[in-house]
Structure 1
Amino acid sequence: MRTAPRRRALRPLVAGAAAALLLAACSTATPEDAGTSPAAADGGAFPVTLENTFGETTIEQQPEAVASVAWGNHDVALALGVAPVGMAAQTYGDDDGDGIHPWTHEALEELGATGDDLPVLFDETSGVDFEAVANTAPDVVLAAYSGLTEEEWTTLSEIAPTVSFPEIAWGTNWRDMALVNGRALGLEDEAEAEIADVEQQIEDALADRPGIEGKTVAYAYLDPTDLSSFGVYTKIDARVQLLDDLGMSLAPSIQAFEDDGLFYVDLSAEQADQIADADIFATYGDETTLATLQAHPLLGKIPAIANGAVVVLQDGTPLASATSGPTVLSVPWALDEYLDLFQAAAQNVK
């Protein structure tokens, strides 16, 4: 196996931050010239069988035409030097309306997969576009990070072997996404090397921000027009799992809420005191969000909010997208700006 190339930390092209995940935008690109075949791997890796919640996926030989659906799986292929023939268009956090996040676009440029060689973009605003996927004639479909239903997985598997999430819908962290998709490509060693590179970048970045270490976080989503309730993400969620990588942890009170494999739990404003143990409160919004929360008669009593130990990710921006569904490419891209937000909030912890 070759050693994966050392990737530099990709830098944000815009400022801001926020959350959520979701889909699509459309492209008129055609599949004929799209995609770059994987670099030579150990032929002994195939056939390979991967287990997921719906069954087993067997890939008989190293894929050449690689498609991906859902959120971020294409980043794994790109990090391993493989330009997909098709991938899901991204709408959340797409700053220029082209359906491609900035870190993904830079990786495509590095592989020369632009212009006529740009992968087909699947419009997933109404769900998986099976016809568009089939038209790219893939040898494999990557979806290790996704919320595929069994019916969707079965339909995709009739097109090509489909790699779905190992255990929980939208619960695959960025490491496992890289490892599972990498194994499907016959590039597991390369995936491990990419992971190690990102881990080193995280370690270096944290060394400059010691105030973050050990802080507990409540990661929430809010409707600013109705603060009678709010949601908190559980440790199943990928953005929360990223906190662990960054030296922080989910507030113990929220860990106690987890049930039925949910990646979030809804709370009423009257339950705000139940997350009083969070050092930092993180959510999505804009420049008015902190003042709005502090003025609320119930939410404003949460110690982190009262103290101003709040991270507000600008909703709908690339930074929000990069950290709500982190990938082996998006984490380095967002790292410094994201950690700066938590470092600033940590200074207000009392």
Structure 2
Amino acid sequence: MLNRGVPVRLRRPLIAVAGAAVTVIALSACASGTTEANESGSAAASGEGFPITIEHAFGETVIEAAPERVATWGWGSTEAAAALGVYPVAIAEQVWTVGEGNYLPWVEEAYEAADVELPALLSDPEGGATVPYEEFIEADPDVILAPYSGLTEEQYETLSEIAPVVAYPEAPWTTPWDEEIRIVAEALGLADEGEALLQDISDGLAEQAAAHPEFEGKTFASVWDGDGVMSVYTELDSRVEVLTELGLVPAPSIAELDSSDGGFYYDLSYEQLDRLEADFIISFSSDQETADAFLTKPELQVIPAVAAGKVASVYDPVTVSSVSPPTALSFDWDRGMPVLIDSIAAALAE
């Protein structure tokens, strides 16, 4: 079973049961209002425009005033907030990527550059399958941002007893990367700043597209090879959608073979691999040895692009996570999108 980044979000959503919900709610009533974490960042909205109502898959959430203590859950919302100058006081740990008790490098760099104390890490060893309610209570947030996460309705309702929760608009782990930034900005009362941030990112992607005219119209499939099955990311997945900004096109075979019923990935048996037609394949792996083995694995040679050597390999947990999908802070990270773009260019040159 896969983990975060490719991983955490490629994991089949597990139905987490909040068995201690009653206890959690009771704890919430008596939680102290202080922690050692810094208050959220200096660019918080002045308070104008609040209350704000945000609709999502579980209904709507009302944020009464400009958040001062932000907690995040899932992927990317920490970076979106920090890029807008608001530094969350508690964030989900990323065990698969950097190990327990460590921070994503682009997140740590942003906090250090702003001279803001690093946030508390919320335990997340199962990629969102369980939620550490007591740790959320200890963080004492006044909003919980989870627009790109796998929250179940039960988890959402329990967290909402602690603070207002902004969930995903439609389905778990399928919020487009730009929409996530837009949702976070709106929740913080920084909608205009969010649009400016999105424009900066869009301009950067446009520059990359112009630098690689050979990308225009080329079809691709993004995959993670398993034991006897290959996980294929659908067009709903942000790591796929973001590459269309470079002129690339998701291969039609992805939709033709899709068995996910609206999910962000599906498993394809080795018996069907010959039907996965694309100009090139993006292969995500946990290390270089596995990435190299992908290129010569006999069972995979029925994929036309693999047989032709047209494979862009992305490996090691940090690099994989930085583009799975990229976040507001990892687009320019030197081991992130630049590595993926160079790998795609090399694959197309084969």
TM-score by length of 1: 0.84
Distance 2:292 2:105 in 1: 31
Please name the residue that 2:327 is paired with.
327
Distance 1:315 1:39 in 2: 34
Going from structure 1 to structure 2, the CA distance change for 1:300 and 1:150 (only over 3 Å counts) comes to same
The code of the aligned residue for 2:250 comes to: L
**Contact (CA 8 Å) 2:215, 2:247: kept in 1 or not?**
yes
Q: CA deviation at 1:161?
A: 0.5
| 1:345 counterpart SS class | helix
Aligned pairs for 1:116-135 (under 5 A) are 117-126=117-126, 127-135=130-138
Distance 1:84 1:90 in 2: 15
Going from structure 1 to structure 2, the CA distance change for 1:85 and 1:288 (only over 3 Å counts) comes to closer
Please name the residue that 1:13 is paired with.
none
**Contact (CA 8 Å) 2:44, 2:86: kept in 1 or not?**
no
**Contact (CA 8 Å) 2:93, 2:100: kept in 1 or not?**
no
The code of the aligned residue for 1:163 comes to: V
Distance 2:291 2:97 in 1: 21
Aligned pairs for 1:76-225 (under 5 A) are 76-94=80-98, 98-113=101-116, 117-126=117-126, 127-223=130-226
Please name the residue that 1:300 is paired with.
301
Bigger RCO (CA 8 Å, 6+ sep): 1
Q: CA deviation at 1:39?
A: 2.4
Give deviations 1:35-58, integer Å, cap 9, x for gaps. Answer: 334525353321111111111100
The code of the aligned residue for 1:83 comes to: Y
Going from structure 1 to structure 2, the CA distance change for 1:284 and 1:187 (only over 3 Å counts) comes to same
**Contact (CA 8 Å) 1:21, 1:71: kept in 2 or not?**
no
Distance 1:180 1:308 in 2: 40
| 1:281 counterpart SS class | strand
Q: CA deviation at 1:257?
A: 3.0
**Contact (CA 8 Å) 1:68, 1:142: kept in 2 or not?**
yes
Q: CA deviation at 1:81?
A: 0.5
Please name the residue that 2:31 is paired with.
none
Distance 2:7 2:212 in 1: 26
Q: CA deviation at 1:20?
A: 2.2
Distance 1:33 1:288 in 2: 40
**Contact (CA 8 Å) 2:208, 2:246: kept in 1 or not?**
no
Distance 1:291 1:64 in 2: 47
Give deviations 1:45-100, integer Å, cap 9, x for gaps. Answer: 21111111111100111111111112221111100111111111112322x76421
| 2:97 counterpart SS class | coil
| 1:331 counterpart SS class | coil
**Contact (CA 8 Å) 2:312, 2:340: kept in 1 or not?**
no
Distance 1:112 1:295 in 2: 47
Please name the residue that 1:238 is paired with.
238
**Identity of counterpart residues, as a percentage?**
41
- With 49-58 and 39-48 compared, the bigger mean Cα shift is at 39-48
Distance 1:291 1:49 in 2: 49
**Contact (CA 8 Å) 1:104, 1:329: kept in 2 or not?**
yes
Distance 1:341 1:209 in 2: 12
Aligned pairs for 1:27-38 (under 5 A) are 31-38=35-42
The total of aligned residue pairs comes to 316
| 2:95 counterpart SS class | coil
Distance 2:213 2:121 in 1: 41
Distance 2:44 2:324 in 1: 33
The code of the aligned residue for 2:84 comes to: L
**Contact (CA 8 Å) 2:284, 2:291: kept in 1 or not?**
no
Please name the residue that 1:19 is paired with.
6
Q: CA deviation at 1:299?
A: 2.0
Going from structure 1 to structure 2, the CA distance change for 1:287 and 1:76 (only over 3 Å counts) comes to closer
Aligned pairs for 1:255-270 (under 5 A) are 255-258=255-258, 259-270=260-271
Distance 1:75 1:290 in 2: 28
Give deviations 1:265-298, integer Å, cap 9, x for gaps. Answer: 111111112112x011111234445664454444
**Contact (CA 8 Å) 1:38, 1:64: kept in 2 or not?**
no
Distance 1:82 1:210 in 2: 37
> Cα RMSD over matched residues?
2.1
TM-score by length of 2: 0.84
Going from structure 1 to structure 2, the CA distance change for 1:302 and 1:154 (only over 3 Å counts) comes to same
Distance 1:297 1:79 in 2: 44
Going from structure 1 to structure 2, the CA distance change for 1:200 and 1:120 (only over 3 Å counts) comes to same
2:63 to 59, 75, 83: 59
Going from structure 1 to structure 2, the CA distance change for 1:156 and 1:319 (only over 3 Å counts) comes to same
**Contact (CA 8 Å) 1:34, 1:120: kept in 2 or not?**
no
**Contact (CA 8 Å) 2:70, 2:144: kept in 1 or not?**
yes
| 2:323 counterpart SS class | helix
* Structure 2, unaligned runs of 5 or more: 12-33
Give deviations 1:294-331, integer Å, cap 9, x for gaps. Answer: 54444202221011110111132x11001113211122
